[in-house]
Amino acid sequence: MQRRTVRVPGAGRLARLYGLTLSGTLLLVVLFRLVADSGGFQELAAGVFGLALLWRSCRIGIYKSADTLTIRSWYRSWYLPMGAVDRVSAVPYSGYLNVQGHSPFFSMLMIAAEEKEIELPFTVDTRKRCRALASALDDSVRRSR
The whole-model pTM stands at: 0.79
Is the CB of residue 84 less than 8 Å from the CB of residue 111?
A: no
pLDDT at 60 over 80: yes
> Per mean pLDDT, which range of 11-15, 31-35, 67-71 is the poorest?
31-35
CA dihedral 43, 49, 54, 56 (to 10 degrees): 180
CA distance 145 to 81: 10
- CA distance readout (Å), 82 to 19, 27, 112, 121, 131: 28, 38, 11, 21, 20
Q: Where are the domains of the chain?
A: 18-57, 62-143
Banded model confidence at residue 24, pLDDT cuts 50, 70, 90: confident
Mean pLDDT for the stretch of residues 109-134: 91
pLDDT at 1 over 50: no
pLDDT of residue 110: 94
The helix, strand and coil proportions of the chain, stated in percent and rounded to the nearest 5, come to 45, 30, 25
